[in-house]
């Protein structure tokens, strides 16, 4: 239900924003599309209030998942790793952040040092060969090494 409301509010925001564009040609499609979203979300919300909406397979579980603290903490841990990699790339650059991330992640999942190191080195080397040497993509050096 919260997601439906959020979508509705997002569409409303876009609708209001679009009305400020100076030309009809710039307004037309955003206004139409946001109206469609608002209308569809309204229909869904009304149906839910009336109890008419057919529960789609998996949706019960999704709704339940919202209340399941276990799922939230899993998601938070996952986002932590993703965020950590992102920060690592920003600070250290791709070529340092990636092997460190791989090593840290595999170790946190209980893998042995040998496997973790071998895997990290191989993946990093493969990435380096394909993206840096072959494709010539220049990765930024990271805050520390810039």
Which positions lie near other proteins, rule CB under 8 A? 3, 7, 11, 14, 17-18, 21-26, 28-30, 33-34, 36-37, 40-41, 43-44, 56-59, 62, 65, 71, 74-75, 78-79, 81-82, 85-86, 89-90, 94, 98, 101-102, 105-106, 109, 111, 119, 123, 127, 130-131, 135-140
In whole angstroms, how close is the CB of 12 to other proteins at the nearest point? 12
Cβ contact 60:37 at 8 Å? no
In whole angstroms, how close is the CB of 11 to other proteins at the nearest point? 8
Distance between CA atoms of 4 and 20, rounded to whole angstroms?
A: 25
In whole angstroms, how close is the CB of 135 to other proteins at the nearest point? 5
Tokens of 83: 């965020």
Give residues with Cβ within 8 angstroms of 146, minimum separation 6. 140
Sign of the Cα pseudo-torsion (6, 43, 45, 68, in order): negative
Is 74 or 113 the residue whose CB approaches other proteins more closely?
Answer: 74
The radius of gyration computed from the CA coordinates of the chain, to the nearest angstrom, equals 23
Distance between CA atoms of 39 and 34, rounded to whole angstroms?
A: 9
In whole angstroms, how close is the CB of 145 to other proteins at the nearest point? 14
């Amino acid at each position: 239900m919260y997601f439906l409301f959020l979508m509705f509010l997002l569409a409303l925001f876009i609708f209001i924003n679009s009305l400020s564009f100076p030309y009809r040609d710039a307004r037309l499609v955003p206004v139409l599309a946001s109206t469609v979203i608002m209308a569809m979300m309204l229909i869904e919300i009304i149906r839910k209030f009336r109890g008419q909406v057919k529960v789609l397979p998996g949706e019960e579980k999704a709704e339940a998942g919202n209340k399941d603290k276990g799922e939230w903490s899993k998601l938070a841990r996952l986002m932590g790793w993703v965020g950590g990699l992102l920060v690592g790339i920003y600070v250290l650059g791709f070529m340092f952040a990636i092997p460190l991330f791989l090593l840290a992640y595999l170790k946190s999942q209980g893998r042995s040092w040998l496997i973790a190191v071998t895997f990290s080195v191989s993946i990093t080397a493969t990435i380096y060969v394909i993206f840096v040497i072959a494709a010539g993509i220049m990765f930024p050096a990271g805050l520390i090494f810039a």
